[in-house]
């Protein structure tokens, strides 16, 4: 199965380089799915730090394969 978890503390829209971030996340998640015959792939976005103007986020991909 595939699960995505977004930190509930992230309440605003996040602006980023969507093209490059998307490519990195797609490659990481794609590799995890490719090498996990049975089990689960988890993608998480966690808020590490917040200032009035920006968020510092951590993106992680874990698999049980």
| pLDDT 10s digits, 6-46 | 999 998 788 888 899 999 999 999 889 888 888 899 999 99
Is pLDDT of 65 > 80? no
- Which DSSP helix (H) or strand (E) runs through 31? helix 18-34
Q: Report the domain count for the chain.
A: 1
Is pLDDT of 4 > 80? yes
C-beta of residue 55 within 8 angstroms of C-beta of residue 49: yes
**Band of pLDDT at residue 48, cut at 50, 70 and 90:** very high
Q: Which domain holds residue 25?
A: 2-63
What is the overall mean pLDDT for the chain? 90
Is pLDDT of 1 > 80? yes
């Amino acid at each position: 199965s595939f699960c995505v978890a977004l930190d509930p503390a992230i309440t605003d829209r996040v602006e980023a380089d969507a093209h490059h971030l998307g490519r990195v996340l797609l490659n990481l998640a794609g590799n995890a799915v490719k090498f996990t015959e049975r089990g689960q792939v988890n993608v998480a976005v966690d808020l590490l730090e917040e200032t009035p103007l920006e968020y510092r986020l951590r993106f992680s991909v874990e698999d049980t394969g």
